[in-house]
Structure 1
Amino acid sequence: MDQQLRVFVTVADRQNFSRAAEELHMTQPAVSQYILSLERTIGTKLLERSNKYVRLNKAGEIVYHHAREILGLYTRMQSLVDDLMNTPSGHLTIGASYTYGEYVLPHVIAKLRKDYPLITPTITIHNSTVIVDLVATRQLDVGIVEGEYVNDKMCIEPFADDRMYVIISPGHRLASKQEVSIHDLMEETWIVREEGSGTREAAEKMFRQLQFQPQKRMEFGSTQVIKESVEAGLGISLLSYWAIRKERQLGTLCTLKIAGTPVTRDFSLVTKSNEFQTRALEIFMDLIRSHLPEGSHV
């Protein structure tokens, strides 16, 4: 059954039998046979097929969701057994929000690979809400997220804080002002992240604390695009110190001094509550706790 599920998930992800067969190192007829066998076991068709695409139907979406969780449990079980006999090794699925994942996590992974070369990490970068959901459904072993979360079924461990600053381009009209008023901020176009992002949550928190709401907004799903847009003079934004440190050193971005800033938020480790942890996961989490980003504090 586990092989049937693995083949099914791969076909669903690739939306193509040929590409799935290539990834699985199987023939296309063998992949088709696995899918037919799974559909007979479940008792219904799971995929819509045409000459142009392969898509999940409603039943397929249900099976796909649970198949990902089942395969994750199987991999975790095998890793736990292997841990009893061997040095730290195995596959580790890690998720991280954009800020930590793009600007801090690569340094942690480099140390992990240097010290424990038998541990093989796979990284998923997404906004914080998605990362929490993927950990909850066991599609990730561990997540690193920004902001505040409360969930009885999840273990959420703050391990560092991050400081966030309002940023502008050096040529911006506010760059030369010693004091920036709320009125000044209200007149600006604010470039913010999408809903579900920890960075967006921090910006909304700042707006509430300063008691104003921007009338002009632009929303982007990438921190890098926001930085480029601010540099180009399209507006202002609130971003992590860690994300803007290089630009500040180069002088391509400036920070504003505003009462109530910098805004602080937590970086947190997220795992399933009451779950066995592999040695690989324990090692990774210890590395995270000891690798505090510059400008962050326990």
Structure 2
Amino acid sequence: MDQQLLVFVTVADRQNFSRAAEELHMTQPAVSQYILSLERAVGTKLLERSNKYVRLNKAGEIVYHHAREILGLYTRMQSLVDDLMNTPSGHLTIGASYTYGEYVLPHVIARMRQHYPLITPTITIHNSTVITELVANRQLDVGIVEGEFLQEKMCVEPFADDRMYLIVSPAHPLAKKEEVNVSELLDETWIVREEGSGTREAAEKMFRMLQIQPKKQMEFGSTQVIKEAVEAGLGISLLSYWAIRKERKLGTLCTLKVAGTPVTRDFSLVTKTKEFHTKALDIFMDLIRTHLPEGTYM
């Protein structure tokens, strides 16, 4: 059954029998036979087929969702058994929110690869909400997210705090002020991340705390684009220390001193509850817990 599920998921992902056969190193007739066998076992057709496309039908969507989870469990089971006999090794799927994933995680991965070269990581970067969902669906072994998360059947472990600062271009009139009054922020254009982002959540928290209702707001799906936009003078934003530390040293971004800032939030590890951990996962999580040095903030 596991081979049938693997073939089915590959066909669904590639939406093509020939490409699936090539990826699986099988003949196309063999792929077709596996799909037919699975459909007979389930008792219904799972795919809509034509000369132009292969698509999941409603039954196929149900089987696909559970097949991905079952295959993930097979992989995890084999990894755990291998761990009993071998040094830390194997594949590790890691997800991270943009701030941590783009500015901190590469240094953690470098340390892990230096000391544990047999562990092979695959990295997914997305906003915190999506990363949490991927861990919940067992598409990721572990996630690193920002902000506050309470998820059923999920283990959320805060491991470090993150301080977030208001930033402007050095050419902005507020950049030259020693301290900025909240009233001076009311007419500014605020550049924020998309809904579901931990950075957006922190910005909304700050707006509530300072009792600000932005009149002008621009939304971008990337921290890097926000930094470029602020440097270009398009507006002001709230970003993590880790995202802006290089630009601040170079003088291309300035931080504002405003009562109630910096805004503090958590970085958290997210895993499924009651799941066995591989040695590779435990090693990675220990590296995460000990990586961020204290006393480095502005």
TM-score category by the smaller chain? over 0.9
Answering whether residue 179 of structure 2 is matched by residue 173 of structure 1, we say no
Distance 1:293 1:60 in 2: 48
Counterpart contact for 1:242–1:295, Cα < 8 Å: no
Q: Secondary structure at the match of 1:32?
A: helix
> Aligned-pair distance for 1:148?
0.8
The TM-score, its normalising length taken from structure 1, stands at: 0.94
Mapped to 2, the partners of 1:231 and 1:241 lie a distance apart of 16
Post-superposition Cα deviations, 1:12-50, rounded to whole Å, max 9, x if no partner, equal: 223333333333233333333322322222222223334
Unaligned runs of 5+ in 2: none
Instruction: Say which SS state the counterpart of residue 77 (structure 2) adopts.
Output: helix
- Matches of 1:90 and 1:96 in 2, distance apart? 19
Partner of 2:71: 71
5 Å-filtered alignment, 1:194-209, equals: 194-209=194-209
Q: Which residue of 2 aligns with 1:149?
A: 149
Partner residue, 2:277: 277
Mapped contact 1:160–1:267 kept (Cα < 8 A)? yes
Correspondence 1:185 to 2:178: no
Report the alpha carbon displacement of residue 72 of structure 1 after superposing the two structures with TM: 1.1
Equivalence for 1:26: 26
Note the C-alpha offset of 1:192: 0.9
For residues 22 and 250 of structure 1, what CA distance do their matches in structure 2 show? Answer: 49
* Equivalent-residue separation in structure 1 for 2:59 and 2:42 (angstroms): 9
Native 8 Å contact 1:179 1:258 kept in 2: yes
Q: CA separation in 1, counterparts of 2:33 and 2:254? A: 59
- Structure 1 CA distance for aligned equivalents of residues 7 and 47 of structure 2: 13
Q: Distance in 2 between matches of 1:214 and 1:207?
A: 8
Post-superposition offset of 1:75: 0.8
Letter in 1 for 2:143: G
Q: Are the counterparts in 2 of residues 104 and 293 from structure 1 also a CA contact under 8 Å?
A: no
SS at match of 1:159: strand
* Contact 1:161/1:267, CA 8 A, preserved across alignment: yes
* Contact 1:161 1:266 (8 Å CA) reproduced: yes
C-alpha offsets along residues 181-229 of structure 1, whole Å, 9 cap, x if unaligned? Answer: 2232121111111111111110100001001111111111111111111
Identical-pair percentage: 86
1:64-120 per-position Cα deviation (integer Å, ceiling 9, x unaligned)? 211111111111110111111111111111111111111111111111112111111
What is aligned with 1:263? Answer: 263
Name 1:119's counterpart in structure 2. 119
Equivalent position of 2:91 in the other structure: 91
- RMSD (Å) for aligned C-alpha atoms: 1.8
Query: Is residue 161–residue 296 contact of structure 1 (8 Å, CA) maintained in 2?
Result: no
Match of 1:12 in 2: 12
Contact 1:150 1:156 in 2 (8 A): yes
1:252 maps onto 2:252 in alignment: yes
* Change over 3 Å in CA distance of 1:291–1:37 after alignment to 2: same
Q: Please say which of residues 57-66 and 25-34 is displaced more in the overlay.
A: 25-34
**1:152, CA displacement in angstroms?**
3.9
Decide whether the 8 Å contact of 1:162 with 1:295 is kept in 2.
no
SS state of the match for residue 259, structure 1? coil
Instruction: Give the secondary structure class of the aligned counterpart of 1:75.
Output: helix
The equivalent residue for 1:225 is 225
Aligned mates of 2:50, 2:237 — CA distance in 1: 45
Work out the CA distance in 2 between the residues paired with 1:282 and 1:115: 14
3-state SS in 1 of match to 2:83: helix
Q: Answer yes or no: is 1:236 the counterpart of 2:243.
A: no
8 Å CA contact retained: 1:149, 1:156: yes
Which residues of structure 1 form unaligned runs of 5+? none
- Say how many residue pairs are matched: 297
Q: Residues 151-194 of structure 1: CA distance to partner in whole angstroms, max 9, x if unpaired?
A: 24111111101111111111122212233222321211111111
CA contact (8 A) 1:95 1:140 kept: yes
State how far apart, in whole Å, the 1-side matches of 2:228 and 2:142 are: 30
TM-score, normalising length: structure 2? 0.94
Question: 1:163·1:263 contact (CA, 8 Å) conserved in 2?
Answer: yes
Q: Is the 8 A contact 1:97 1:145 kept in 2?
A: yes
Post-superposition offset of 1:4: 1.8
